[in-house]
């Protein structure tokens, strides 16, 4: 069977690329320890009990109390994702603040993407997704669920207000 030389080259390049990617995945997992998000030490994030007041920071009531000021200009927030909302879904911080998001889910897989930033996380039941960012520009930043999670998926959003 005759295979054109160009096609052969292209085929070999594709196979080489797959091998390079496989090696890269192996190195990132085994050498750099890149893995799925895991719960930080001491956190109970059992999806069945995580929303129960007193069990975890995601159970704090009212949900607005899940925003904690650690120091002036330094915040952390525990956001619980569930079908089809985030709690809290309205977070207000002053401009120039650094904020760490701890996000978990009590039911299915959700997403967490914050507009105009590079914050983009998968939210997995039983795990904690964590990212820190500093917001210097005042404004309203929407966060949306970008993992399809059912019929109300498109209504799942919240807002970070930087004032
Ligand atoms: Cu969702």
Q: Please tell me the distance from the alpha carbon of residue 66 to that of residue 23, in angstroms, as a whole number.
A: 41
Task: Indicate whether 36 pLDDT > 70.
Answer: no
What is the distance in A from the centroid of ligand 1 to the CA of 158?
A: 11
What beta strand segments (E) does 4-162 contain? 67-71, 74-82, 85-87, 90-93, 97-105, 110-114, 120-123, 129-135, 139-144, 157-162
What is the distance in A from the centroid of ligand 1 to the CA of 82?
A: 7
pTM score above 0.75: yes
What is the distance in A from the centroid of ligand 1 to the CA of 116?
A: 19
pLDDT tens track for 55-102: 888 988 999 999 999 999 999 999 999 999 999 999 999 999 999 999
What is the distance in A from the centroid of ligand 1 to the CA of 55?
A: 23
Yes or no: say if 112 and 145 are a contact pair by the CB < 8 Å rule.
Answer: yes
What is the distance in A from the centroid of ligand 1 to the CA of 156?
A: 6
């Amino acid at each position: 069977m005759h295979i054109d030389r160009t096609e052969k080259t292209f085929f070999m390049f594709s196979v080489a690329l797959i091998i390079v990617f496989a090696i890269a995945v192996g190195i990132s997992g085994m050498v750099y320890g890149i893995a799925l998000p895991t719960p930080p030490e001491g956190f109970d994030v059992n999806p069945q009990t995580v929303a129960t007041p007193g069990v975890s920071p995601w159970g704090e009531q009212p949900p607005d109390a899940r925003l904690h000021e650690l120091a002036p200009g330094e915040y952390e927030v525990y956001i619980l994702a569930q079908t089809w909302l985030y709690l809290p879904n309205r977070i207000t911080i002053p401009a120039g603040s650094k904020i760490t998001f701890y996000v978990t889910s009590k039911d299915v897989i959700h997403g967490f993407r914050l507009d105009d930033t590079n914050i983009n996380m998968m939210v997995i039941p039983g795990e904690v997704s964590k990212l820190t960012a500093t917001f210097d520009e005042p404004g309203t930043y929407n966060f949306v669920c970008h993992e399809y999670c059912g019929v109300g998926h498109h209504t799942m959003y919240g807002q970070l207000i930087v004032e």
